[in-house]
Amino acid sequence: MAEENNEENGKKSPIKLILMIVGGIVLLGAGLGIGILVGGGESSDPSTEISQIIEKKENPESKNKEDEESADSGEVAEECAEEEKDAEGNCPVGPKKIPKITPEEEIFATTYYEFPGNFTTNLKGSKRFLQISVGVSTQYDETVMENVDSHQLALRSEILTIMSTFSPEDIAGREGKQKLADALKEGINETLVKVEGFGGVENVHFTSFVLQ
């Protein structure tokens, strides 16, 4: 009886061993399958990563190509001025500020003076007469207007004389009025130069202009 039991145990032992081996293979295959699913099907072999690093060092052109592709895709960070960065030191999104350089301009104050009353005279070669009110301006100091006021009598005579040399056709339109204003400015300055040695009147203005 003992010999029969030993023979049965000897037959069963190889079967158990085979079942254990098969079960281990199945478990190993299941574990690999789960690992592939979790890892996305990519192996993280260290030797592969080292080979890629060495390849980039030996072939810098490939790295430059990658940089160009990143630039084309808009991944290159743009630089900006320090004053444009936000509290975290990042460049703002959108158009950048462009500094504008403007030259410094020296601006002078303009002083005006209006002669009291009107100037009325007959026009050249006509029975018509012209009545105007005249003012002058300058960007020089107050000395010019003080001289104009002091020599008002001589200046009024000069203004009436110049007016009488113009005909109705001469003062027609905007250009005609400007010609009369230029002639009056020249005559006023010539009179001031004679009596004070300096003119200084830069513009003549009509505050009223009546042709009858």
- pLDDT, tens digit (0-9, with 9 covering 90-100), for 51-72: 666 565 555 555 555 555 555 5
31 falls within a domain: no
**According to the model, what pLDDT value does residue 76 have?**
43
DSSP-assigned letters across all residues of 17-52: HHHHHHHHHHHHHHHHHHHHHHTTT----HHHHHHH
Q: What's the CA gap between 106 and 131, in Å, rounded?
A: 38
93 falls within a domain: yes
Same domain for 143 and 194: yes
Residue with tokens 């004053």: 83
38 falls within a domain: no
**According to the model, what pLDDT value does residue 171 have?**
95
Instruction: Indicate the pTM of the whole model.
Output: 0.52
**According to the model, what pLDDT value does residue 20 have?**
73
Same domain for 189 and 139: yes
Domain end among 75, 97, 119:
97
Domain end among 28, 62, 97:
97
Same domain for 128 and 81: no
Same domain for 203 and 122: yes
**According to the model, what pLDDT value does residue 56 have?**
58
13 falls within a domain: no
Number of domains in the chain: 2
* Beta-strand runs (E) in the chain: 111-114, 119-122, 129-138, 203-211
Same domain for 128 and 194: yes
Same domain for 124 and 68: no
Same domain for 191 and 118: yes
**According to the model, what pLDDT value does residue 109 have?**
86
Same domain for 160 and 117: yes
Same domain for 206 and 119: yes
**According to the model, what pLDDT value does residue 50 have?**
58
Domain region containing 127: 111-211
Positions in the chain whose pLDDT score sits under 70: 1-17, 22-24, 26-88, 92-106
Residue with tokens 């703002």: 92
Same domain for 89 and 119: no
Q: What's the CA gap between 153 and 206, in Å, rounded?
A: 19
7 falls within a domain: no
**According to the model, what pLDDT value does residue 25 have?**
73
Say which CATH number the domain at 148 has: 3.30.479.30
Same domain for 128 and 74: no
Same domain for 91 and 118: no
34 falls within a domain: no
- Could you give phi then psi for residue 86, rounded to 5 degrees? -85, -170
